[in-house]
Amino acid sequence: MLKYIVRRLILTVPILLGLSILVFLFVRALPGGPAIALLGERATQESVEQIEEELGLDRPLPVQYLSYLRNILSGDLGSSVSTRRPIVDELKQRFPATFELAAMAMLFAVAAGIPLGYVAAKRYQGVLDNVSLVASLIGISFPVFFLALLMKYVFAVKLGWLPTVGRIDVTRSLEHPTGFYLLDAIIAGDGEAFVDVLEHLIMPAIALGTIPLAIVARITRAAVLDVLGEDYVRTAKAKGLDPSVVDRRHVLRNAMLPVVTVIGLQTGLLLTGAVLTETVFSFPGLGSWILNAIRFRDYAVIQGGILFFAGMFIVVNLLVDISYAFLNPRIRYR
Amino acid sequence: MALLSVEDLEVRFFTRRATIHAVNGISFDLDAGETLGVVGESGCGKSVSSLAMLGILPKTGRITRGEVRFGDRDLVKLKDADLREIRGRDIGMVFQDPMTSLNPVLKVGDQVTEVLRKHLDMDKDGARREAVAVLDRVGIPHASERVYDYPHQFSGGMRQRVMIAMAIACRPKILIADEPTTALDVTIQAQILDLLKGLVKEEGMGLILITHDLGVVAGICERTHVMYAGRFVETAPTNELFDRPRHPYTLGLLRSVPRLDASQKEKLIPIPGAPPDLSILREGCSFAPRCPYATDESRERTPMLEGIDGPMHRVACWNPVPDAEVATVASSSLEASGS
């Protein structure tokens, strides 16, 4: 098992290297180049050359790449043009926000999706099965931003039950040692703040989690139906095991294999979905950050952000593969 | 009194399109220590009857008539919770394909211990020790280490041994083996049959062996029932059945067994036609359309099992195969396929 994990970890190195090359070239392939982006369209030739020399852009590409790589490895992603703050600092602040949001969204999707799919499969072709099929179809086809706006209108504007924007009430003072507000509230022992942060998370998490919920439910249903027809389930019944044991040990454990893969892929995709959700709810996470960077042509932020997103995607995939190996003994030693 | 007594068992499958008459009234007794063969081609209802006895029919299947008496209880009328106490404990079952009948994500040891823990109230360590002992008994080398392995790390024959270990772990009174050797190589088949034979002898278990392979019953079963279209058409002590098959279907089966000692020119004689559509229940013998001996009576009235050549040999046929015709063909088939 350890060997497998180490091998997978080593495999991520070339992926990350390739990724850094792509991001590096992407920025340099943009029309005008970084100097123009920094100085604007009407910059003089002189000032462009001066900036290029300052940034080392007049050197050969491989040399530039190596110094860029050295900077990344030492934890320096450059600075934002618009805020002048180091990108690493911004990441430290915004990543916890998106992480919290994505985790809540996935929690919602998994906690509701797996039981729904399971029940639908057990009541195959019954009323509940059909209802959940239609509902999940609607869930998948519903645009995230529209659902977000709709919820905001109903629950925040009309009913006034939930806050509309941000991560926390602006008037509340809470220390942020970790940047994960829920965790911060627990550390501070501030129950009210915890509830406040949670209330701010509910709508964005539901909006973001709806599509994964529908997908998780459908995959769970299909997987459980598949496994219910397997010979080893019949064997388990022939042993006289209680139905709950048959379902837990024999049906669900096998059905979880495809579900885990889908959960992993969806978690990766949540990061993209976060762009829309965070914008609608003015949630100060990575999504809204990158959106603003694109709006202001803040290339250093885009570059750093893409690298970070891609890195996250790789980490999530790695985690999925490792958990898959835990669940499925057949691939462990291959 | 018989250990297990099945009386007029009838099983139907209710699907949207049709009602399938899978088992149409079979009766038999099984005594302790007896080995019973049930032979028939695919789809004749032999597997379904065993699933029905244990109450693990697929969702669309239902027992519509009959009794399955085990001790003083009728398994058909038992609640599922009570039936679960009997399944795996008093009646063990081995299935056809060991590649798919074991749970791929559970360690082999855990699959054996779960049945011990459910039925015999063993603690974890006790069940583990017992599991090793049972796996050792069915001939799995290094059982104390192999309990930590997963099914995919075993060969087909070894997996079938694991299946057998699970089925006999609680020392059941009855073992039902449904095509236990069909998915295995010929050499492994012999080993598995020897193992079953040995276990039945040592434990005094009653064995019901379901198979389409006449060679298998010849080697192991004392009595054999021949099943066709959900009914028993002939039942006799195995030797007698092979020596003097009286039902045209049994004769047909024996004639279609390939033999190594047959000369090049000698051809197999297949049974013409195909088994009947079980969604339609007709009066008359269901083998009549394929039967060279069929009469008008065969087509109109359903024959019942009745004694012929003494009470032990019974046949459901209006026009049994004449003795003289039988002798030559059948006995040589036994030598070729049996023992």
CATH code of A279's domain:
1.10.3720.10
Residues of chain B with pLDDT > 90, as a percent, come to 47
Distance CA A167, CA A252 (A): 36
Our CA-based measurement puts residue B267 at a distance from the nearest CA of chain A, in whole angstroms, of 38
Residues A135 and A54 in one domain: no
Our CA-based measurement puts residue B101 at a distance from the nearest CA of chain A, in whole angstroms, of 4
Could you say which DSSP state residue A53 is in?
Answer: H
pLDDT tens track for A176-229: 777 777 777 777 777 777 888 888 888 888 888 888 898 999 999 999 999 998
Note whether B56 contacts A242, CB cutoff 8 Å: no
Picking from A51-55, A263-267, B115-119, B303-307, which range would have the lowest pLDDT averaged per residue? A51-55
Q: CB of A214 within 8 A of CB of A113?
A: yes
Note whether B86 contacts A240, CB cutoff 8 Å: yes
pLDDT band at A74 (very low <50, low <70, confident <90, very high): confident
Give the closest residue to B106 by CA, choosing from B143, B66, B138, B147. Answer: B147
Q: CB of A323 within 8 A of CB of A5?
A: no
pLDDT band at A273 (very low <50, low <70, confident <90, very high): low
Give the tokens for residue B211. Answer: 């198979």
For residue A325, is it within any domain? yes
pLDDT at residue B262 greater than cutoff 70: no
**pLDDT reported for residue B109:** 93
- Could you count the other beta carbons within 10 Å of the beta carbon of residue B168? 21
| DSSP H/E element including A231 | helix A231-238
Residue B243, C-beta contacts closer than 8 angstroms, at least 6 positions apart: B327, B330, B331, B334
One-character DSSP codes across A286-325: HHHHHHHHHHTT-HHHHHHHHHHHHHHHHHHHHHHHHHHH
- Number of domains, chain A: 2
The mean per-residue pLDDT over the stretch B62-89 comes to 91
- Domains of chain B, earliest start first: 4-221 (3.40.50.300), 238-337 (no CATH)
Least CA distance to A245: which residue of chain B? B114
pLDDT tens track for B176-198: 999 888 888 888 888 889 888 89
Note whether B103 contacts A245, CB cutoff 8 Å: no
Q: Which residues of A touch B78 (CB under 8 A)?
A: none
pLDDT band at B204 (very low <50, low <70, confident <90, very high): confident
Domain span at residue A56 reads 2-73
Our CA-based measurement puts residue B50 at a distance from the nearest CA of chain A, in whole angstroms, of 11
- Unique residue bearing structure tokens 């050295």: A70
For residue A189, is it within any domain? no
**pLDDT reported for residue B238:** 92
Amino acid occupying residue B125:
D
pLDDT at residue A334 greater than cutoff 80: no
pLDDT tens track for A76-93: 877 777 777 888 888 888
Any chain A CB within 8 A of the CB of B171? no
Distance CA A134, CA B40 (A): 45
Average pLDDT, chain A: 82
Residues A60 and A107 in one domain: no
Q: Which residues of A touch B150 (CB under 8 A)?
A: 329-330
Average pLDDT, chain B: 87
Q: CB of B9 within 8 A of CB of B26?
A: yes
Could you say which DSSP state residue A86 is in?
Answer: B
Residues A219 and A249 in one domain: yes
For residue A273, is it within any domain? yes
Q: CB of B256 within 8 A of CB of B273?
A: no
Q: Which of B105, B113, B134, B170 to mutate to test the interface with A (most CBs of A within 10 A)?
A: B105
Residues A132 and A11 in one domain: no
Give the A-side interface with B, CB within 8 Å. Answer: 230-232, 234-242, 245, 249-250, 253-254, 257, 327-330
Q: Which residues of B touch A239 (CB under 8 A)?
A: 87-88, 114-115, 118, 166
Note whether B54 contacts A238, CB cutoff 8 Å: yes
pLDDT band at B338 (very low <50, low <70, confident <90, very high): very low
Distance CA B329, CA B335 (A): 11
Distance CA B154, CA A43 (A): 73
Residues A62 and A99 in one domain: no
More confident of the two residues A132 and B260: A132
For residue A300, is it within any domain? yes
**pLDDT reported for residue A309:** 83
* Of the partner residues A240, A329, A330, the one whose CB lies closest to the CB of residue B118: A240
More confident of the two residues A3 and A333: A3
Where do the H-state alpha helices sit in B179-247?
A: 186-203, 214-220, 238-243
Amino acid occupying residue B20:
I
For residue A262, is it within any domain? yes
The mean per-residue pLDDT over the stretch B147-166 comes to 92
- Could you count the other beta carbons within 10 Å of the beta carbon of residue B318? 19
Distance CA B22, CA B13 (A): 7
Residues A104 and A69 in one domain: no
Last residue of a domain, one of A73, A108, A131: A73
For residue A190, is it within any domain? no
Residues A27 and A144 in one domain: no
Residues A134 and A68 in one domain: no
Residues A68 and A20 in one domain: yes
* Model ipTM value: 0.86
Q: CB of B72 within 8 A of CB of B15?
A: no
Note whether A234 contacts B101, CB cutoff 8 Å: yes
For residue A80, is it within any domain? no
Note whether A238 contacts B163, CB cutoff 8 Å: no
Least CA distance to B113: which residue of chain A? A239
Last residue of a domain, one of A73, A103, A124: A73
Any chain A CB within 8 A of the CB of B89? yes
pLDDT band at B43 (very low <50, low <70, confident <90, very high): confident
**pLDDT reported for residue B324:** 67
Residues A262 and A155 in one domain: yes
Residues A140 and A269 in one domain: yes
Q: Are strands B223-228 and B35-39 parallel, antiparallel or unpaired?
A: parallel
For residue A34, is it within any domain? yes
pLDDT tens track for A9-24: 888 888 888 888 888 8
**pLDDT reported for residue A272:** 64
Could you say which DSSP state residue A329 is in?
Answer: G
Note whether A240 contacts B100, CB cutoff 8 Å: no
Residues A271 and A310 in one domain: yes
The mean per-residue pLDDT over the stretch A282-307 comes to 80
Give the closest residue to B108 by CA, choosing from B89, B128, B87. Answer: B128
The mean per-residue pLDDT over the stretch B55-61 comes to 90
